[in-house]
Amino acid sequence: MIFDATQLVVNQLNAHLKGTGTDSPVTLGNISQLIEETTSDSKKVIVTLVNLEEEAALKNGPHHRIKDGKVVYENRPVQVYLYLLFSANLANYSDSLKRIGSVIEFFQGKNVFTVRNSPHLDGLTLSPEELGGFRVTLELFSLTFEQINHLWGSLGGKQVPFVLYRVRLVTLTAKEILSSGPPITDVSLSTKTSYTYAS
């Protein structure tokens, strides 16, 4: 699910940039490994997953559901936020700024992605059932100067033009059933009282 959410965003952004005549495509990659390398990725916008955060407020939900007339018990799905770093790794600094501007403009105009409004689904691994409820929402995430320093320090120290987005909420589940049984449909109460008398 993490890969599919990220790949969907990359696909949509790529389609938008190509439609505007931009010759710098978007790709998934580890920006810390690509900054110093002279590869084909040195002229691209690189999307890097830099953090995951669990949404703890959604942990306290039901651990069962009805499936085929039976009660199925399973662990709660893990709901996570993805933090995606968009880095413009171009040789020309002015072009890098333009690409980051294009990224921000695109997500300002469209920040919710579903199967219905996202025609480019190449490379996704989700089943048709999973795709039906698939929804990716992006929001711009601002960092302080100190946080920026720590972020790029962990990525190798060399900063390039970038923007950070938070993707909410991605659901992760193994769909492993712990146990199952018939549902309880009737509850009977006994009103009889038994008394024992001492002789």
pTM: 0.75
More confident residue, 65 or 113: 113
pLDDT grade, residue 158 (50/70/90)? confident
In this prediction, residue 154 carries a pLDDT of 92
96, two tokens: 């890098």
CB atoms within 10 A of CB 33: 14
In this prediction, residue 79 carries a pLDDT of 83
Residue 181's nearest CA partner among 68, 71, 62, 67 is 71
More confident residue, 43 or 175: 43
Mean pLDDT of 60-67: 60
Assess whether pLDDT exceeds 60 at residue 174: no
Residue type, 102: S
Assess whether pLDDT exceeds 60 at residue 63: no
Mean pLDDT of 124-148: 82
pLDDT grade, residue 55 (50/70/90)? confident
Assess whether pLDDT exceeds 80 at residue 41: no
Handedness of CA 93, 96, 101, 102 (dihedral sign): positive
Answer whether 170's CB lies under 8 Å from 77's CB. no
What does the chain come to in residues? Answer: 199
In this prediction, residue 176 carries a pLDDT of 45
Please give the helix or strand (H or E) that residue 147 lies within, else none.
Answer: helix 145-154
In this prediction, residue 165 carries a pLDDT of 98
In this prediction, residue 184 carries a pLDDT of 56
